[in-house]
Amino acid sequence: MLDIDPPKTGHSLPKALSIAEVEQLLALPEKKTPLILRDYAMLHLMYATGLRVSELVRLPVQACNMTSCHLRVLGKGDKERLVPFGEVARERIEDYLDQGRPQLVKKKSCPFLFLNNRGGAMTRNRFWQIINGIAIQAGTRHRISPHMLRHSFATHLLAGGADLRAVQMMLGHADISTTQIYTKIETDRLKAIHQRFHPRG
């Protein structure tokens, strides 16, 4: 038995939100307090860039280039990468920087972009609570984690025709085999569509 290899364990497929569910989650409420501006800036930026939650909450203000719309992210193993973001995310960040963050900054300055209500750094657990609270208010059907937004970012990019290597770079995956799990998700989606609509599916 020592010469027999054990069966390979399969990768658990990440859960991704539909585009409609993401739109529902990101819809900005009419009331815009400093904390609401912060929360939705974080949500928009996470979906626009696929950041890990640890990268998001520790993102320095200086790492966010509002002119060229890209982030300088320090990821796992202290590896730095540049990640672009779009116009909508930039608008949410600008609203937060103009009307939200100045209200949260206390006497002791904090280098991070996203601050808690005491003027300090946001924690991962607190952002989990925030995203679930927003999901409940938005009427989503299931609990949402920050990781689901990261998975949705990658899945929606690949579904739209993005290059796998580019998605790997934006996610900060050291090995492209880690990114390839998303191609399995897309294949499963196409198979489901075929079975549903093809006369001999």
- Give the residue ranges of DSSP H helices in 60-175: 87-95, 101-104, 124-138, 146-159, 164-171
Active-site residues, by number, are 52, 76, 147, 150, 173, 182
- Whether residue 189 lies inside any domain: the answer is yes
Domain with 63 in it: 21-197
Q: What is the pLDDT of residue 183?
A: 61
Chain centroid, CA 158 distance in Å: 15
Predicted confidence at residue 15, as pLDDT, reads: 78
**pLDDT at position 3:** 58
Whether 15 maps to a domain, the answer reads: no
Q: CATH code at 128?
A: 1.10.443.10
The pLDDT value recorded for residue 197 is: 63
Split into its structural domains, the chain has a count of 1
Residue 186 pLDDT: 58
Sign of the CA dihedral running 55, 92, 128, 15: negative
pLDDT of residue 27: 92
User: What's this model's pTM, rounded to 2 decimal places?
Assistant: 0.80
Q: Which parts of the chain sit beneath pLDDT 70?
A: 1-14, 107, 174-194, 196-201
